[in-house]
Amino acid sequence: MIFRRRVCAVVSCGLLAGGVTPVTASEAPPAVDAGFPGGNIVLEKIEGDIVHVRQDLRDTAGDWFYWYFRVRGAAGRTLTFRFTKGNVIGVRGPAASTDGGATWAWLGASAVQGASFRYAFPAGADDVRFSFTMPYQESHLKAFLARRADDPALKVETLCKTRKGRDVELLRAGRLDGEPDHRVFLTARHHCCETMASYALEGLLDFVLTDAGAGAWLRRHVEFLAVPFMDKDGCEDGDQGKNRKPHDHNRDYLQELYPEVKAVKARVPAWSGGRLRVALDLHCPYIRGPHNEVIYFVGGAEPENEARVAELAAILEKVRTGPIVYKASDNLPFGKAWNTGTKDPRLLSCKGWTVGLPGIRVASTIEIPYANASGCEVNADGARAFGADLARALRVYLDPQGTAEERR
């Protein structure tokens, strides 16, 4: 028996028929579901204290690894969650939340055995959530915007409506009261499961809104345009996003199947005014392994652009103050490993589009690991701190003659 998202799944070992005694409340199986924003799971069965689940691939071509589910009615029990479609648990174990998904912590590798993890539910923990990553939903963005609601250097607009009628947020930050010297375009969640990119984007924008040092300089000289959820429906529906059929949002910059992409292609050139200097598309890599546990810029085939990306990368390594290590030597050059470009002439990425915009100096994709970067734990706060480091690097790149005080 299989239960999909938005169905509260309870599998009972007792039947109320044929003279079979029903299970008691203390023996009842837990409720496992994904009926909330970002949720994704297929519950296959519950056998005693073992819960068999798998990720819901829906309209994904091939396999992927995002999942996010809720467990209720398990307080005081210890359960094992066994994944039946590959090992989709990350290198620091699952992320867990006991406050409805607002904050998260990694359970650690010690909780994991193969494709299973074990969790002892605290007494009174009636709602615990588990995920492959640390989810970032519209509710997280709204919480950030509420903290900055009175800041004149931040404006919230609507880029467009999604296919399902949701608003797609468009944020403007920095120099808004006049013509800036520079403009920077930022995107995240072309692949909706890549949530750590959203925490980094939030950290970058939060730094821009600070009143001192590099943040103050950015507010005076740079206007930022940011789309936090390029696949808004996928983010809220809990899709994989990566390799969506017939192609995903980050391969749509020729065909424009998705309203978010079409709207970006109309808005950005009209907004840039010849002052667009940097365009960065924030992503997360694969689940584990080489090139997937370091932060890196994805190299392209355009030599002049790549030379400027290397310059920004060297600055980022130098100015980093956050807990997550970044080394420019970890960047992945074009032609290496998976980075060989698309073979389909009908497909074009966000970076592939922005690199051709007038005035652009740097167009690139940054990959931010889900859980581990050069041996450092990646979590919500660490990803935000990396975003702040990226803002510092942009400040130096855009004005290398600035004072030491202005660069901090």
Q: How confident is the model at residue 406 (pLDDT cuts 50, 70, 90)?
A: low
pLDDT recorded at residue 343? 83
List the one residue out of 157, 241, 151 whose CA is nearest residue 197: 241
pLDDT for the residue numbered 357: 97
Whether the domain at 31-131 and the domain at 138-407 fall into the same CATH topology:
no
More confident residue, 91 or 2: 91
Q: What is the mean pLDDT of residues 179-198?
A: 99
When pLDDT is cut at 50, 70 and 90, the band that residue 5 belongs to is very low
Q: Tell me what pLDDT residue 385 has.
A: 98
Q: Which two tokens stand for residue 77?
A: 């029990």
**Which pLDDT score, from 0 to 100, does residue 163 have?**
98
pLDDT at 20 over 80: no
Q: What is the pLDDT of residue 341?
A: 85
- Per-residue pLDDT reduced to its tens digit, 296-307: 999 999 999 999
Please check the confidence at residue 403 and state whether its pLDDT lies above 70. no
Summarize the confidence of residues 190-202 as an average pLDDT: 99
Mean pLDDT of 192-205: 99
The residue written with tokens 């998260």 in the block is 104
One-letter-per-residue 3-state SS of the chain: CCECCCCCECCCCCCCCCCCCCCCCCCCCCEEECCCCCCECEEEEEECCEEEEECCCCCECCCCCCCEEEEECCCCCEEEEEECCCCCCCCCCCEEECCCCCCCEECCHHHEECCEEEEECCCCCCEEEEECCCCCCHHHHHHHHHHCCCCCCEEEEEEEECCCCCEEEEEEEECCCCCCCEEEEEEECCCCCCCHHHHHHHHHHHHHCCCCHHHHHHHHHEEEEEECCCCHHHHHHCCCCCCECCCCHHHECCCCCCHHHHHHHHHHHHHHCCCEEEEEEEECCCCCCCCCCCCEEECCCCHHHHHHHHHHHHHHHHHCCCCCCCCHHHCECCCCCCCCCCCCCCCECHHHHHCCCCCCCEEEEEECCCCEECCEECCHHHHHHHHHHHHHHHHHHHCCCCCHHHHC
Q: What is the pLDDT of residue 402?
A: 65
Whether residue 8 is predicted with pLDDT greater than 70 in this model: the reply is: no
CATH entry 3.40.50.720 includes domain 138-407: no
pLDDT digits (tens, 9 = 90+) for 329-362: 999 999 999 999 878 999 999 999 999 999 999 9
Per-residue model confidence as pLDDT tens digits over 72-131: 999 999 999 999 999 999 999 999 999 999 999 999 999 999 999 999 999 999 999 999
User: What does the pLDDT average to over 28-37?
Assistant: 97
Specify the CATH number of the domain 31-131.
2.60.40.3120
The pLDDT of residue 408:
59
**Beta strand 127-131 pairing with 372-373:** unpaired
What is the average pLDDT value for the chain, to the nearest integer?
A: 93
Q: Where do the structural domains in the chain lie, given as residue ranges?
A: 31-131, 138-407
What is the reported pLDDT for 401?
A: 79
* pLDDT higher than 60, residue 225: yes
